[in-house]
Amino acid sequence: MKINTENEVQKPMPLGKKNYMLIAAAVLIIAIGYLLLQGGGSENPAEEFNYEMFSTRRIVVAPLVLLLGFVVGGVAIMKKFKK
């Protein structure tokens, strides 16, 4: 069976270049948010408690950055840009 490539209809891409750029930006923002969450553990948790776990960076900033990344990702998927 031979496939005729001349009669094939090319379907348009579901998302444009701007959408893919926004998705890449969203992935980068989400990665930064997760990087802000890490660190602050104690060497021996049985003996001492590290209060760095409750810093403003981990409680406020990192979740807001993550939320921003997910919102940018949602907008990147849903928005239709004019050509």
DSSP string, 2-44: ---SSSPPPPPPSS-HHHHHHHHHHHHHHHHHHHHH-----S-
19 pLDDT tier (thresholds 50, 70, 90): very high
Task: Quote the pTM value.
Answer: 0.78
Percent of the chain with pLDDT over 70: 87
Buried b (16+ CB within 10 A) or exposed e, 4-22: eeeeeeeeeeeeeeebeeb
Sorted by where each begins, the domain ranges of the chain are 19-39+48-78
